[in-house]
Amino acid sequence: MKTWSISRRLITTVLLVELISAVCVTGMAWFYERHTHFRSFDVMLRGRADSVLGSVQDADDPADNVILDKKDLAVPDEDIYEVWDEKGTLLGRSLNWAGTAQGSFAVNKDGYRNLNVSGKPYRFLLLHGLRVVDPGDKNGGVPHHLTIIYGSPTKHVWHAVIDAVQFYAMAGLVLLVATGIIMAWLLTRSLAPLRSLAAQAAGVSVNAWSFSPPEEARATKELAPLVSALETTLQRLERSFSQQRRFISDAAHELKTGVAVVKSSLQLLRMKERSAEEYQAGLERCEADCSRMEEIVAKMLTLARVENHETANAQPDRSTNVSEVLHQVMEQFSSMADLRGIQIVRSSRGPFYVALKAEDCGLLLSNLLLNALQHSSRGSQVMILARETDSQVEIRFEDQGDGISPEALPHIFERFYRGDPSRNRNTGGTGLGLSICKAIVDAAGGEITIDSTIGLGTTVVVRLPIAVVNPSAAPSAQVNAENLFCE
């Protein structure tokens, strides 16, 4: 995509608008100035024609004729005039004028006409005036109807008009340049927070997450949403990144420890000559060590898969019958419960449909039941209650086991966390079971809580959203027994 600059575009737009308005103003000035100048020119023309009329004097002849007396006439030399009387007699004209035929001088309705005289533009006025001369020997004056043609060059008017227009054009141009400079400066200045923000953001890396946006960027109304978006995004990224990093380091720790166990078991066997029985027992131990590592790897992969779901958003169209899965899980663990002398009591009506994959649902329930069984003592009960609340399915596992210490309780969902080492030796947990449970529940948009009292037992409550899809359309709950057995 072609890159473009906001500032350049903004400046160009503003300058273009300003240029157009400057042209308009200049054009309007042109019309206005021309109009006013010519109006005053016309008034002047009429005044001069009047003074020509005033210069028409009694000729002192018996016919009471009049003549043009140029003696007192003070008009510019370049002006042109011509005076006729009603009988068609030319009374006088200016020296620079060859004249025109009487009555043939056509003018517009106001009496004006523009004409080029010897290459120069002139404006003429045709004035019909009445001059009364009083010879003194008769009764009253003798009226003379005179026709005056008066012209003056328009050169000066045009000069004035052009000067005015030039002034407007120059002013517009100066304004244009000034605007351009000021805008460029202003934009550079107001975009400075954006640049420092970009510099800050560019400094963020997986090793240096600290992001402190410049105060001026936060104070800029337009940048504030960007700043807060950047902050929250970075926080989210950092959280998930450090989570991943911790997972990798935890996983590496677990695997290295696993390898250390296998390696040391083998080296111990080789330390000295041993009997066949000792070798046999040692190899069996090694095999058990390997199985444990295998289990850790399998669980880590399960956790990664479930967490991947979480980030990719669980499919809400899943629908699984909790009651059915619970039934299968209980069947699966019934022999183990019998062996340990633990009674599993189930209290649920059903069916309840939750928005979970059947496989994940089975994993969740079997992990929780296994935990309850492992921490229960002989002769105790494990209660499983499932019920539907407003928009959730609540599944409750209650055991009468040894409980979890208050210090361990907040960490119980952490990966590879093992509450009590002595318990760990008995049950051989990987410390991933509850993390997997939490990841499954989180992915489904539910919640899981643990409440425990030392010596009295532990209660795990899982709340899952009810499936919205038609249960008959959903695939029937198929639980893979091999996947379920995790501890």
Partner 1 sequence: MRVLLIEDETRLAENVAAALREGPGFAVDTAEDGEIGLYLTQDACYDLIILDLMLPKLDGLSLLKKMRAAGDRTPVLILTAQGETRSIIELLNSGADDYLSKPFDLGELIARVKALIRRGKGAAHPTLNVSNIEVNTLEQTVRRSGQIIDLSPMEYRILEYLMHRPRVVVSKRELLEHLYDYNWEHHSNVIEAHVSNLRKKLDASSAQPSIETLRGRGYRLITA
Report the nearest approach of partner 1 to the CB of residue 368 (Å).
23
* 294 neighbors 328 (Cβ within 8 angstroms): no
Rounded CA-CA distance 486/358 in Å is 16
Residue ranges in 271-321 assigned as alpha helix (H): 276-311
Between 289 and 307, name the residue whose CB sits nearer to partner 1: 289
Q: Give the nearer residue to partner 1 in terms of CB position, either 48 or 418.
A: 418
Between CA 249 and CA 256, with CA 250 as vertex, the angle to 5 degrees is 85
Q: C-beta of 467: minimal distance to partner 1 in Å? A: 40
- Is the distance from CB of 479 to CB of 390 less than 8 angstroms? no
What's the half-sphere exposure (Cβ side, CA atoms, 13 Å) at 267? Answer: 6
Question: d(Cα 396, Cα 320) in Å, to the nearest integer?
Answer: 17
What is the binding site for partner 1 (CB under 8 A)? Answer: 249, 252-253, 256-257, 259-265, 267-268, 271-272, 285, 289, 292, 418, 420-422, 424-425
- How far out from the chain centre does Cα 317 lie? 32
Shortest reach from residue 373's CB to partner 1, in Å: 21
Give 93 or 418: the residue with its C-beta nearer to partner 1.
418
C-alpha 156/C-alpha 474 separation (Å) is 96
Provide CB contacts within 8 A for 407, sequence distance 6+.
none
Report the nearest approach of partner 1 to the CB of residue 267 (Å): 4
Shorter beta-carbon distance to partner 1: residue 12 or 249:
249
Q: E strands, 20-140, where?
A: 56-58, 66-68, 80-84, 90-93, 112-117, 120-133
Q: Which residues neighbour 319 within 8 Å (Cβ) at sequence distance 6 or greater? A: 353, 354, 355, 467, 469, 470, 471, 473, 474
CB of 304 to partner 1, least distance (A): 20
Pairwise CA distance, residues 237 & 227, whole Å = 15
CB 315 within 8 A of CB 465: no
Please, which residue, 113 or 292, has the CB nearer to partner 1? 292
Cβ-based nearer residue to partner 1, 105 or 417 = 417
**Burial (CB count <10 Å: 0-12, 13-18, 19+), residue 308:** exposed
Of residues 205 and 267, the one with the C-beta less far from partner 1: 267
Residue located via tokens 């018996």: 62
Residue 262 or 336: the one with the smaller Cβ distance to partner 1 is: 262
Least Cβ distance, residue 249 to partner 1 (angstroms):
7
Gap between the Cα atoms of 122 and 105, Å rounded: 14
Contact partners, residue 61, CB within 8 Å, separation at least 6? none
**Contacts with 8 (C-beta within 8 Å, 6 or more apart), sequence order:** none
Tell the smallest beta-carbon distance from residue 406 to partner 1 (Å).
13
The nearer residue to partner 1, 378 or 425, going by C-beta atoms, is 425
CB-wise, 427 or 483, nearer to partner 1?
A: 427
* Exposed / middle / buried, residue 462 (Cβ in 10 Å: 0-12, 13-18, 19+): buried
CB 453 to partner 1: min, Å: 20
- How near is the Cβ of 409 to partner 1 at its closest, in Å? 14
Residue 383 parent element (H or E): strand 381-388
CB of residue 421 to partner 1, shortest distance in Å = 4
Beta carbon nearer to partner 1, 196 or 265: 265
Q: Is 198 helix (H, G, I), strand (E, B) or coil?
A: helix
Residue 342 C-beta: closest distance to partner 1, Å: 24
